Amino acid sequence: METKTDTQMLPEVKKIPSRFRNALGKYRVTITKECNNCGICVKLCPYGVYKAGSKKPRVAAEHLCLGFPCSANEFYCVNKCPEKAIQLRLNPAFEILGDRRWSPDLLASTWHMAETGEIPYQGLNYKTGDSGGGFDKLRFIFPREKGPEIPDEEVSTAIELNRSGDSRPGVRIPVPFYLGGMSFGSVSIVTMLSRVKAAAALNTFCCTGEGGYPEELIPYDDHMITQVATGLFGVSEESLKRVRIVEFKYAQGAKPGLGGHLLGDKVTPRVARMREAVAGSALFSPFPFHSVYSVEDHKKHVDWIKQTNSRALVSVKVSTPTDVDMVAVGSYYAGAHIIQLDGSYGGTGAAPDIAKKNIAMPIEYAVPKVHKFLSEEGIRDKITIIASGGIRSAYDMAKAIALGANGVCLGTADLVALECIRCHHCESGRGCARGIATTDEQLTNLMELEWATQRIINMYLTWRRQLVSILKRLGMKSVTELVGRFDVIGHLDYIKQEEIEGELEL
């Protein structure tokens, strides 16, 4: 059976702890001098917070601590300690982490999923952030009556990316997502490869981004999307022919209407070689495409790729202006298989704050707007809509699909799985101090490829499980049934529990 194959195609979870000595968690656990090293706490804690020590136990994994709610449990160490030597309190540093979109809770939840492959139990909100609108105010409306129980393995999360009905091969992915472009240069080769390997393991895709096609990626050709962006850095006929999907990047949500800018520091000799540029000098990717002046030119662009690679699907990535729906229609008639709508919440590179915050509409508006318009035009079934630039969790993914996307494209979540803390300094100095978005050799060495790959796999396997559980609660057997179901989703500002039949998840 098809759906079973999808499940069987998936890799396994392996436990992958933090690469830092002290993992960050919501709570702080300390053992005071009064400790007599009786070892009760080590034995009691089922979450492995403590490790035995010679003078006193060591708090080895306070991020796994259940926190205050644990006081109801038999094994609550604070009460059981005969010397009253264990102190539990909120971690004061926790609230500094992240931002309004990626709240500390959401970061810690993602780390937990990446480490354990499990949904967090520490009282962390893993469903929404703190942005006060959009996804963070949208909720599913679940039917009150439980339908017949659907076994997990009968729920399909697979989607077909080629819906056009043309003669090109179908591309079916077992999960409704692929990984977005992060160029070599903006992230380290370890980050890049770990994302590609995770994508391959999940039988989906990962995009190269604008910086070319490093040779390390050649073994993964079948899981690569190569990007043609306005700077045409690293674009060659050879790399275009390798892949099953080619992506045009017209604009990106993080800096809509502005070009890309790779700071000189990040243009190492290797980056420079791949981009056919000079090491140490900043690279501008202009905006927009200088070969496209009209929608006819846009079609010629798409035709060029189709001519070069007869089996490739063409994806068009755009940001979200007022007339994003018209742009989507134009791309459909130009022959695109996929239209990717990119919101402004993602990205690793440097972008002016004014652009990220103010230019173009939030992705939560753009997706339903395009979905409705394409439906009215009678072409919705012929094109795949992919939402990106703001999908932080399984819940965001499911909401984006309910708002009208077929699937989503992800990036920032991967970085968070690799222990990004959203400090927003990817661009400064030697690049990311945590070794994720940098080409600095020393910093790149902070992370191992296998570690990184498995963290990303763990997170996405957890996402998939959550998606399956959402689909089951909605009585759906396939994620394709969720597309554009405006009736199963509500906005907390406009809908009250008493007005609806179902159960609004608060």
Partner 1 sequence: MPAKYHIHTAQAANRFQLITRSGVIAWEEGCLKCPSCVKKACVYKVYEKRGIDSRQMLESLDSVCKDCFRCVQGCPKQLIQKGFNPSYKALGDHYWTPEIISGLWYQAEAGRIPVSGGGYGGAFSGPGFDAMWTDMSEIVRPTRDGIHGREYISTTTDIGRKLMALEFDETGALSVTPPPVVEIPLPLLLDMLPWSPPGMGIKLAILEGAKSLGTFAIIRQSDFTPAMKEYLSNIALYIDGQVSDIEPSVLSALRLIELPYSKEVIAAQNTLKITNSGLVTIIRMDLSPDSAEEVVRLTKEGAEAIHLVADEYGLEKSDRPLFIKERTRDIHLRLVEAGVRDQITLISGGGIAMAEHVAKQIICGSDLLSVDIPLLIAMECRVCRRCKEGIACPVELEGVDPVWGASRIRNLMAGWHNQLLEILGAMGIREVKRLRGEMGRAMFFEDLEKDIFATLGRRG
User: What is d(CA 276, CA 261) in angstroms, rounded to the nearest whole number?
Assistant: 16
275: contact with partner 1 by CB under 8 A: no
User: What is d(CA 299, CA 136) in angstroms, rounded to the nearest whole number?
Assistant: 37
460: contact with partner 1 by CB under 8 A: no
Q: Is 39 left (phi over 0), alpha (psi -120 to 50) or beta?
A: left
Provide the 3-class DSSP secondary structure of residue 494.
coil
Q: Is 272 left (phi over 0), alpha (psi -120 to 50) or beta?
A: alpha
Q: Tell which one of 148, 494, 498, 506 touches partner 1 (CB under 8 A).
A: 494
User: What is d(CA 472, CA 466) in angstroms, rounded to the nearest whole number?
Assistant: 10
383: contact with partner 1 by CB under 8 A: no
Where in 84-137 does DSSP place strands (E)?
Answer: 86-90
How far from 84 is each of 2, 35, 38, 78, 87, CA to CA, in Å?
57, 8, 12, 7, 8
98: contact with partner 1 by CB under 8 A: yes
Residue 50 CB, nearest approach to partner 1 (Å): 14
- The count of chain residues that interact with partner 1, using the rule CB under 8 A, is 105
Q: Tell which one of 353, 378, 498, 506 touches partner 1 (CB under 8 A).
A: 353
Residue 386 CB, nearest approach to partner 1 (Å): 16
DSSP class per residue in 218-280:
GGGGGGEEEEEETT-TT--HHHHHH-SEEEEES--TTSTTS-EEE-GGG--HHHHHHHTS-TT
Give, for 79, the enclosing helix (H) or strand (E): helix 77-80
251: contact with partner 1 by CB under 8 A: yes
Our CB check for partner 1 shows the closer of 170 and 286 to be 286
Q: Tell which one of 134, 176, 181, 185 touches partner 1 (CB under 8 A).
A: 134
Q: Tell which one of 31, 302, 351, 470 touches partner 1 (CB under 8 A).
A: 351
Question: Contact 138/504 with Cβ under 8 angstroms?
Answer: no
Residue 322 CB, nearest approach to partner 1 (Å): 5
User: What is d(CA 229, CA 365) in angstroms, rounded to the nearest whole number?
Assistant: 25
Residue 387 CB, nearest approach to partner 1 (Å): 14
In the region spanning residues 464 to 493, those forming contacts with partner 1, defined by CB under 8 A, are: 486-491, 493
- Residues 6+ positions from 458 with CB-CB distance below 8 Å: 13, 14, 16, 113, 114, 115, 116, 117, 417
In the region spanning residues 396 to 425, those forming contacts with partner 1, defined by CB under 8 A, are: 412, 420-425
111: contact with partner 1 by CB under 8 A: no
In the region spanning residues 191 to 250, those forming contacts with partner 1, defined by CB under 8 A, are: 230, 250
User: What is d(CA 133, CA 422) in angstroms, rounded to the nearest whole number?
Assistant: 20
Our CB check for partner 1 shows the closer of 160 and 323 to be 323
Residue 66 CB, nearest approach to partner 1 (Å): 20
Q: Tell which one of 85, 138, 329, 410 touches partner 1 (CB under 8 A).
A: 138
Site map (CB under 8 A) of partner 1, residues 23-62, x = contact: xx--------------------------------------
257: contact with partner 1 by CB under 8 A: yes
Question: Contact 186/207 with Cβ under 8 angstroms?
Answer: no
In the region spanning residues 420 to 449, those forming contacts with partner 1, defined by CB under 8 A, are: 420-430, 433-434, 437, 443
147: contact with partner 1 by CB under 8 A: no
Q: Tell which one of 11, 17, 53, 259 touches partner 1 (CB under 8 A).
A: 259
Our CB check for partner 1 shows the closer of 212 and 347 to be 347
Residue 434 CB, nearest approach to partner 1 (Å): 6
User: What is d(CA 48, CA 194) in angstroms, rounded to the nearest whole number?
Assistant: 28
Angle at 483 between CA 481 and CA 489, to 5 degrees: 100
Question: Burial letters for 411-444: b for 16+ Cβ neighbours within 10 Å, e otherwise?
Answer: bbbbbbbbbbbbeeebbeeebbbbbbbbbbeebb
Our CB check for partner 1 shows the closer of 173 and 254 to be 254
Q: Tell which one of 78, 272, 355, 449 touches partner 1 (CB under 8 A).
A: 355
Site map (CB under 8 A) of partner 1, residues 291-320, x = contact: -xxxx--x-------------------xx-
Question: Contact 402/156 with Cβ under 8 angstroms?
Answer: no
Q: Tell which one of 181, 214, 346, 484 touches partner 1 (CB under 8 A).
A: 346
Our CB check for partner 1 shows the closer of 57 and 330 to be 330
Q: What is the dihedral sign for C-alpha 256, 258, 262, 263?
A: negative
Q: Tell which one of 27, 50, 102, 460 touches partner 1 (CB under 8 A).
A: 102
Site map (CB under 8 A) of partner 1, residues 76-95, x = contact: ----------------xx-x
